[in-house]
């Protein structure tokens, strides 16, 4: 597989999570909001992993969005606001298992979806801008 194929595969998987989050939120009163948040978190995580692949930066098998973003060049990191993604890493685990606190609300689930869509747009912009790993400062 080429680098572009790998990036596209990550983007496609992330898009599938985004579709699942949207479809789940459309269930209205029967919506499992924890599931919607889980898929939004997964989309955010996979979009970041696509960008890391684009930059040819290896990453560990983790779900911590903050840790993944810390691997990005400073210029790229600055374009993906922590205010957007900061609290969503916990949905990778909390949404899948009982006893991790209260389930998220509809509003929180909708916000997670908006953030996932914004991260997607940020990642696509960075990829299309041609951000280069070798020409950027790290940490």
Look at residue 22 and tell me if it is in a domain: yes
Residue 67 structure tokens: 């840790």
Look at residue 93 and tell me if it is in a domain: yes
Q: Can you tell me the distance from the alpha carbon of 9 to that of 15, in angstroms, rounded to the nearest whole number?
A: 10
When pLDDT is cut at 50, 70 and 90, the band that residue 66 belongs to is confident
CB burial of residue 31 (10 Å; 0-12, 13-18, 19+): middle
Q: Model-level pTM greater than 0.95?
A: no
Look at residue 103 and tell me if it is in a domain: yes
Look at residue 91 and tell me if it is in a domain: yes
Give the domain extent around 46: 3-129
Q: Can you tell me the distance from the alpha carbon of 108 to that of 70, in angstroms, rounded to the nearest whole number?
A: 25
Indicate if the pLDDT at residue 121 is higher than 70.
Answer: yes
Residue 89, classed as helix, strand or coil, is coil
- Top-confidence residue, 4 or 29: 4
Look at residue 136 and tell me if it is in a domain: no
What is the mean pLDDT of the segment spanning 64-87? 80
Residue 24 structure tokens: 């789940």
Nearest alpha carbon to residue 14 among 75, 81, 68: 68
Look at residue 135 and tell me if it is in a domain: no
- Report the number of distinct structural domains present in the chain: 1
Q: Can you tell me the distance from the alpha carbon of 68 to that of 46, in angstroms, rounded to the nearest whole number?
A: 10
Look at residue 89 and tell me if it is in a domain: yes
What is the mean pLDDT of the segment spanning 95-111? 78
User: What CATH number does residue 64 fall under?
Assistant: 1.20.120.330
Nearest alpha carbon to residue 115 among 81, 90, 92: 81
Q: Can you tell me the distance from the alpha carbon of 102 to that of 99, in angstroms, rounded to the nearest whole number?
A: 8
Residue 97's pLDDT is what?
67
Indicate if the pLDDT at residue 58 is higher than 60.
Answer: yes
């Amino acid at each position: 597989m080429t680098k572009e194929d790998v990036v596209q595969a990550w983007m496609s998987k992330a898009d599938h999570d985004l579709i699942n989050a949207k479809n789940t939120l459309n269930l209205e009163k029967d919506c499992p909001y924890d599931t919607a948040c889980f898929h939004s978190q997964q989309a955010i995580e996979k979009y970041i992993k696509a960008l890391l692949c684009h930059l040819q930066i290896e990453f560990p098998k983790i779900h911590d969005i903050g840790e993944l973003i810390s691997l990005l060049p400073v210029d790229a990191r600055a374009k993906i606001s922590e205010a957007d993604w900061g609290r969503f890493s916990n949905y990778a685990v909390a949404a899948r298992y009982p006893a991790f606190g209260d389930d998220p609300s509809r509003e929180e689930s909708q916000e997670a979806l908006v953030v996932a869509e914004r991260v997607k747009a940020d990642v696509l912009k960075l990829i299309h801008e041609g951000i280069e790993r070798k020409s950027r400062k790290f940490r």
